[in-house]
A and B are shown apart, each in its own frame.
Chain A
């Protein structure tokens, strides 16, 4: 097992495109770190640099105590699971799993033992003599994981391993990979564009966008204290609501939406941080679950009211998504099941004042964000 450390790592392609700018972070020994972001954000490139499949333009990459910038993939003591499994189609499941061990000169006995042990962990003992094309997607993915674990590498790398599976299987494999991590205790780096996978699997999450690292933190911290508007928007489904407006002082401090459709009287805790923003443009953010239907179930004590018109109602069974508009602003609320409001009906929404986020409209950074240590 080992830690992985990136120090000002940068990837620039021959055509000048910079896929990763200055990535610096450390993955601790035995940690499960998820790299998440939209497609093209540089997460896969970062993983492939750790794997040695992409060269590093500048910066240092360490696995364990060794600088591995110029070490071939096979000598980095890593194993990787690919999105489309990348099994060798002409080999049986057993041979697929044994291939890496054979190349490393393990004895036949040892190979057999390791493959069977891995097959047992993954419950694929019965399909060892089949070819990949005879397997279902879920089985192929297990074999791909099996091929990685027989090697007992220092670091596991996963490149969107679940995105080719159907929704049900994805949930199941998600839990299995988490269990595998607990069982093996090996350092794992996991790339996904699915924020649910990121939230549920990672010890820590690295959010990336446009080749830049946006935030590195534990899942709940990322969710509740996003560093900037991108992170706030990317993590969470439905996304956080954003409303542009101004901070005004008028019998205490208030937020007024840009078209003056509504205003919210702000709490004492936040006013402190917003003092410099009086008279300035600002972006307010609030998560859908922090918006309630006034007078409904479980509304917190201190709320600000907004009158809105219902656009769409999506009953999910255990909750309801309300898509509403207040003036020019659109708001999504995630509320408890209740008698359904009709589209085009007017509704009073109650916004939890203790759960407001404020972002600088220029830099998009969360104004209330304190904890400089969190950005690596």
Chain B
């Protein structure tokens, strides 16, 4: 009985969370006039909304830009982030704790506070209206450093020492010994950086003016708000769904690692 109640609660919870998304997904296939109705299932399936999206906005180019930016940002956040994390977790040096505190502190500063100074810097460097302006400021990520550091701390010191005696440089230890043992943490950090960066709208809106460098969320936002959708709900929803799709795919793909990392207790030799 207790179990049944728990399941009912879980099902209700799932419905509450999933319903808007499912409704949106199905609504994109409805004829425009039906969208206002509460019914889930389209009476007639149509790709009209998608046709309009692809017709009015250069989605392919925006998608490509987004992929380039997000891959560069995620990749560098993992590479440089794990270097920092390794130094914080495994090397002994003066000021290590202070640097770690500083990194934690940067997580507390709201991005909005940094917006203006960061923009000024990017303009000075000449990166406004280029993908560099979208990539460089986010190449380091404090959250990734934190997640990786915690994971690296769980690796037995003896394994690191054994690698040192075997002839590894510190960089080699990081990438050939520590990385393979930290896959769940790398995936977690990767997903967090990926999602955060993929969904970013505000920063591209500020830095990018030319359409050819716009990212997908920026494009979708402009499309929805800027009148490209001709105030029609269907194409707006379709654009939003297209925007969310890569994240859903990535999450499903890495889900196993993601969950195992959140529940991980460390590795044993």
Contact = CB atoms under 8 A, between A and B. Distances in A.
Interface of A: 48, 51-53, 72-74, 78-80, 82-90, 99-100, 103-104, 132-133, 140, 147
A103 B168 contact: yes
B269 A85 contact: yes
> Which of B164, B165, B269 has its CB near the most chain A CB atoms (within 10 A)?
B165
Interface in B147-164: 156, 158-159, 161-164
Nearest to A132: B269
A51 B165 contact: yes
Contacts of B180: 90
A80 B162 contact: yes
Given A88-B177, A103-B166, A80 B161 contact: yes
Contacts of A73: 161, 164-165
B158 A83 contact: yes
Interface in B43-77: none
Contacts of B159: 86-89
Contacts of A100: 165-167
Given A89-B268, A90-B180, A90-B181, A84 B166 contact: no
17 contacts: A52-B165, A73-B165, A79-B165, A80-B161, A80-B162, A82-B158, A82-B161, A83-B158, A84-B269, A89-B159, A89-B181, A89-B269, A90-B181, A99-B163, A100-B166, A132-B269, A147-B162
B interface residue count range (under 10 / 10 to 19 / 20 to 34 / 35 or more):
10 to 19
Contact of B167 (A80, A84, A89, A104): A104
Contacts of B181: 89-90
B141 to A, nearest CB: 25
Contacts of B168: 74, 103
Contact of B162 (A52, A86, A90, A103): A86
A53 B161 contact: yes
Nearest to A80: B165
B49 to A, nearest CB: 47
Nearest to A53: B161
Nearest to A90: B180
Nearest to A148: B165
A103 B166 CA distance: 8
Contacts of B249: none
B267 interface: yes
B5 to A, nearest CB: 40
A74 B158 contact: no
A47 to B, nearest CB: 11
Nearest to A75: B167
A52 B165 CA distance: 8
Contacts of B162: 80, 82, 86-88, 147
Interface string B122-158: 0000000000000000000000000000000000101
A74 B166 CA distance: 6
Given A86-B158, A88-B159, A132-B269, 10 more contacts: A48-B161, A51-B161, A53-B164, A84-B156, A86-B161, A87-B159, A87-B162, A88-B177, A133-B268, A147-B162
A213 to B, nearest CB: 24
A86 B167 contact: no
A320 B5 CA distance: 65
Contacts of A53: 161, 164-165
> Which of A52, A74, A78 has its CB near the most chain B CB atoms (within 10 A)?
A74
Contacts of A99: 163, 166
A133 B269 CA distance: 7
Contacts of A72: 164
A82 B177 CA distance: 17
Interface in B181-204: 181
Contacts of B158: 82-86
Task: Give the 6 A-B residue pairs with the shortest CB-CB distance, closest first.
Answer: A86-B158, A100-B166, A103-B167, A74-B167, A86-B162, A90-B180
Contacts of A83: 158
Contacts of A90: 180-181
B152 to A, nearest CB: 14
A147 B164 CA distance: 13
A92 to B, nearest CB: 13
Nearest to B179: A90
A351 B165 CA distance: 52
> Which of B164, B168, B269 has its CB near the most chain A CB atoms (within 10 A)?
B269
A140 B162 CA distance: 14
A147 B159 CA distance: 13
A86 B156 contact: yes
Nearest to B177: A88
A78 B165 contact: yes
B166 to A, nearest CB: 4
Contacts of B269: 84-89, 132, 140
A111 B166 CA distance: 14
Contacts of B156: 84, 86
A82 B267 CA distance: 17
Nearest to A83: B158
A327 B217 CA distance: 89
A48 B167 CA distance: 16
B165 A89 contact: no
A29 B165 CA distance: 21
Nearest to A85: B269
Nearest to A105: B167
A147 B267 CA distance: 21
A173 B159 CA distance: 22
A58 to B, nearest CB: 18
Contacts of A80: 161-162, 165
A359 B269 CA distance: 46
A83 B162 CA distance: 11
Nearest to B92: A14
> Which of A78, A80, A140 has its CB near the most chain B CB atoms (within 10 A)?
A80
A89 B163 CA distance: 12
Contacts of A85: 158, 269
A355 B96 CA distance: 57
